[in-house]
Amino acid sequence: MGYLIKPKDYKPVLDIKQTELAIKKIKDFFQGSLSAELRLRRVTAPLFVLQGQGLNDDLNGIERPVSFPIKDLGDQRAEVVHSLAKWKRMILADYDIECGYGIYTDMNAIRPDEELGNLHSLYVDQWDWERHVSKEERSVEFLKDIVRRIYSVMVKTEYVVYEMYPDIKPKLPQNIFMIHAEELRQMYPDLTPKQREHEITKKHKAVFLMGIGGKLGDGEKHDGRAPDYDDWSSEGEKGYPGLNGDILVWNDILEQSLELSSMGIRVDKEALLRQLEIAGEEKRKELYFHKRLLEDKLPLSIGGGIGQSRLCMFFLRKAHIGEIQASIWSDEMRAECAKYNIPLI
């Protein structure tokens, strides 16, 4: 059935009609505000890319992409995107986006290997964004500045929801707390990475957790990252590796942290070579995307994804992502959700 958290005495604040109207309001306001804050223009994105070009996001390297043959291309295979992490960087180059400006798009993906539950669906919808940066901006301080800008848009959006529906009181603090995964490990050495996230987010309510993908002081990673988009092996804050991170907020209904965004400064040529070697994926150097990067034909950039359904789920105080988006759930999960007053679309 997947993993289902069943909040006690849960009752949705909004009915289905109000929810649909609120989703539209949140998405329109958030993407417009994000575009203005980061100077991003909207572009059209693909649902699928050709296999074998190195364009698809490999996530943790074990998730299977949905693929299919294309009859008119001699049965060459295409893959439904996992995300647009690398495709966006090519668009910065192809559209000749100036330094200090960027792009955003609606990304829709299918991830058949997800363990379904309150936060995970087969269907992933997010705003993918990418911004051209200078060499000097490849720093922890610049990363933090961009995070603060994105978080300010989240705070404003929560207030817009409150204006529409006064029963939904704002919960986000005005400022986001920032910490590196190594510092967090030292604070809670006996907890798992996910338990550490819950503890720090419960305390601060909104957290940017940096340094995802590189090995920490105990030789373990906080979480996995593909080697060819985020720069997780460069020296970051206090000598710790990593120029990336996740935005987490505290979900009172599920009593756990909720990841709303994954983002980071992207690899330059040196970081790509280093991370491919660390990951044992040096063969990727021959792929189309990687060749363009190694030949200095792609701009330096920062980028990430912001979950649309998760954002709406948090702002509308929903217990399940299936209250926001239409997806496929087992009969058992639908029955359990109905039993606990969780109305899945």
First to last CA, the chain: 17
Report which secondary-structure segment, H or E, holds 36: helix 16-38
Q: Is residue 324 part of a domain?
A: yes
What's the pLDDT at 58?
64
Q: Which of 125, 128, 246, 323 is catalytic?
A: 246
Q: Is residue 184 part of a domain?
A: no
State the DSSP code for 60: T
Q: Is residue 280 part of a domain?
A: yes
> What are residue 263's DSSP bridge partners?
245, 304
What's the pLDDT at 112?
84
Q: Is residue 84 part of a domain?
A: yes
Q: What are 120-160's pLDDT values in tens digits? A: 999 999 999 999 999 999 999 999 999 999 999 999 999 99
Q: List, for the chain, all residue ranges whose pLDDT scores fall below the cut of 70.
A: 1-2, 58-62
Q: Which residue in 38, 29, 27, 35 sits closest to 302, CA to CA?
A: 38
Which two tokens mark 24?
């539209």
Distance CA 136, CA 141 (A): 11
Where does the chain show beta strands of DSSP type E? Answer: 40-42, 48-50, 67-70, 76-80, 102-110, 123-132, 177-180, 206-210, 244-251, 256-265, 301-307
Q: Is 269 exposed, middle or buried (0-12, 13-18, 19+ CB in 10 A)?
A: middle
Q: Is residue 216 part of a domain?
A: no
Distance CA 277, CA 260 (A): 30
Q: Is residue 7 part of a domain?
A: no
Q: Which of 121, 261, 262, 275 is catalytic?
A: 262
Active site residue 111: yes
Active site residue 126: yes
The pTM assigned to this predicted structure is: 0.94
User: Which residue pairs, CB below 8 angstroms and at least 24 apart, start in 278-283?
Assistant: 278/227, 278/233, 279/61, 279/227, 281/227, 281/228
Q: Is residue 2 part of a domain?
A: no
What is the number of structural domains in the chain? 1
Rg, C-alpha atoms of the chain: 20
CATH code, domain with 133: 3.30.930.10
Q: What are 200-233's pLDDT values in tens digits? A: 999 999 999 999 999 999 999 999 888 999 999 9
Q: Is residue 6 part of a domain?
A: no
Active site residue 106: no
What's the pLDDT at 31?
97
Q: Which of 31, 35, 57, 261 is catalytic?
A: 57
For 239: left if phi > 0, alpha if psi spans -120 to 50, otherwise beta; the answer is left
What's the pLDDT at 235?
85
What's the pLDDT at 1?
61
SS3 content of the chain, % helix, strand, coil (to 5): 35, 20, 40
HSE-up of residue 155 (Cα within 13 Å, Cβ side): 14
What's the pLDDT at 337?
95
Q: Which of 31, 83, 121, 126 is catalytic?
A: 126
> 294: domain range?
16-174+263-339
